[in-house]
Amino acid sequence: MLETAIPAVECSNVKKTFGTGNSEVQALRGINLEVREGELMMLVGPSGCGKTTLISVITGVLDATEGDCKVFGRSMQHMEDSQRTRYRGQSIGFVFQQFNLISSLTLDENVAIPLLINGIDYDEALKAATAALERVGLNGREKDRPAQLSGGQQQRVAIARAIVHSPKLVVCDEPTSALDHVTGEHIVKLLREVAAGEGRALIIVTHDSRIFAYADRIARMDDGRIQNVYGSYREMTEAERTVQ
């Protein structure tokens, strides 16, 4: 079914350069990648190979130096800044590696942010946020603040925030990095359930080989390029499954 699904993300010859002259760094060197609707695509590879830069370009956080990325047929490169910001707020969910929770807000207020940005009533947004927190195993903690949580619990709040508005595309940067194996598996299963269904797609950047089996496909990056795209983790060699 996935092989015939329409593309959720299309990257065409995407290049990204930082700096100029002697300080120029080529972070992306001509990326061609398609993520299909309904798919969980994992991006793997050594640190510094361009994974986070690529998802930043896909979501319009960074502009490509060359090439283009389309998300469900819409070019992120050719949108006005205001259009891009609105589209991200409505259609894209992020799980950042550093969580980016607001310390002065309660957990339900943190999770409700995407809904509030989209104009949802405050009480309705908090109700939806409470339900999202329950889905990640934090029911009863909605009035706590981030400082009261462990790193793993803060990660789960960040995931609840990413899925609360039912975005079409969810992009996660190391979502299981602070989680034990059992919790990490639960979170990946939850992300698959809510973010990789019909009309949706999920991209996970990860070094965690324990979750590779949950991917529909795995794209391995190195030195700013896609080295290979695997139909499952079983196609990878033992060395390729060990990414640093």
pTM of the model: 0.90
Q: What digits encode the pLDDT tens for the residues 188-225?
A: 888 888 777 778 999 999 999 989 999 999 999 999 99
Provide the β-strand partners of residue 229. Answer: 219
Residue-wise pLDDT for 80-112, tens only, equals 888 998 998 899 999 887 889 999 999 999 999
Cβ–Cβ under 8 Å, residues 41 and 35: yes
- pLDDT for 15 equals 97
- Check: CB of residue 202 under 8 Å from CB of residue 172: yes
Mean pLDDT of 163-169: 93
200, 169 in Cβ contact below 8 A? yes
Confidence of residue 182 (pLDDT cuts 50, 70, 90): confident
Nearest to 154 by CA among 127, 133, 173: 133
The mean per-residue pLDDT over the stretch 139-145 comes to 96
115 Cα distance to chain centroid = 18
CA–CA gap between residue 181 and residue 184 (Å, rounded): 5
**Domains parsed from the chain with CATH numbers:** 2-241 (3.40.50.300)
